[in-house]
Amino acid sequence: MLTLREMQPFTLFATAGIHQVLAENPIFDALNSAVVSRETIALNQPFELAPGLTATLFPVPGKVPLYLEAGDVQTDLIGDQTVGVHLQTEDSSAFYIPGCALLNDDLRSRLDGADLLFFDGTLWQDDEMVQAGLGQKTGQRMGHMSMSGPEGSIAAFEDMRIGKKVFVHMNNTNPVLRPDSVEKAQAEAAGWIIGQDGMEIT
């Protein structure tokens, strides 16, 4: 959002479904079309981001954004509004998946052997916001799998072959954000890195 009023040229790559959501919001017309072009990207079709660097968008189980919810909400919808991105160079492979409701077989096979994974770390446990008295929503209701427990992401990724795993997109209730928490130590002992603002990975 902070770039909307700037005159900085960039390309907005998104699926047709995400471009449609943006088009329905006049506020996004603040992005001057003379300097910001919008490219529609098909799922599962690699495209070149820069010489030697390709990207591929792929569907991830999730839900529509909160402000578009209506009636019964499917929280593990597979469509083109919740996606991950696969970044590839000739000899390395990284995934960025900031929101994910479920690690399904499709994702398992995609991620197998990746050098680097950034993954949805919204909550530590599913009812953490409810327990803290900060809301009625569980992680599952918000379309996020939590870190801990038998259904959690730490357990789900335990046997997978992935070089480096980084949690991103933590909610401010997530105890892994506290430097001295037991939960942070547990996540790190399980081989995860807790993402931080300004973190750079080479």
Residues at the contact surface with a copy of itself, assessed by CB under 8 A? 1, 5, 7, 24-30, 65-68, 134-135
Q: Of 6 and 188, which CB lies nearer to a copy of itself in the complex structure?
A: 6
Q: Of 56 and 171, which CB lies nearer to a copy of itself in the complex structure?
A: 171
**Using CA atoms, how far apart are residues 129 and 117, in angstroms rounded to an integer?**
26
Structure tokens at 47: 């495209």
**E strand or H helix that includes residue 97:** strand 93-97
DSSP 67: G
Mapping DSSP onto H, E and C, the string for 6-31 reads: CCCCEEEEECHHHHHHHHCCHHHHHC
Structure tokens at 81: 């509004």
Q: Of 28 and 96, which CB lies nearer to a copy of itself in the complex structure?
A: 28
Q: Of 7 and 50, which CB lies nearer to a copy of itself in the complex structure?
A: 7
Q: How far is the CB of 25 from a copy of itself (least distance, A)?
A: 5
From the CA atom positions of the chain, what is the Rg in Å? 18
Q: How far is the CB of 196 from a copy of itself (least distance, A)?
A: 20
**Residue 61: is it exposed, middle or buried by C-beta count within 10 angstroms (0-12/13-18/19+)?**
buried
Q: Of 4 and 16, which CB lies nearer to a copy of itself in the complex structure?
A: 4
Q: Of 35 and 182, which CB lies nearer to a copy of itself in the complex structure?
A: 35
Q: How far is the CB of 4 from a copy of itself (least distance, A)?
A: 8
Structure tokens at 80: 């083109």
Q: How far is the CB of 179 from a copy of itself (least distance, A)?
A: 24
Q: How far is the CB of 160 from a copy of itself (least distance, A)?
A: 31
Say which residue the tokens 């790559």 belong to: 13
Say if CB 59 and CB 43 are below 8 A apart.
yes
Q: How far is the CB of 110 from a copy of itself (least distance, A)?
A: 29
CA 104 to chain centre: 15
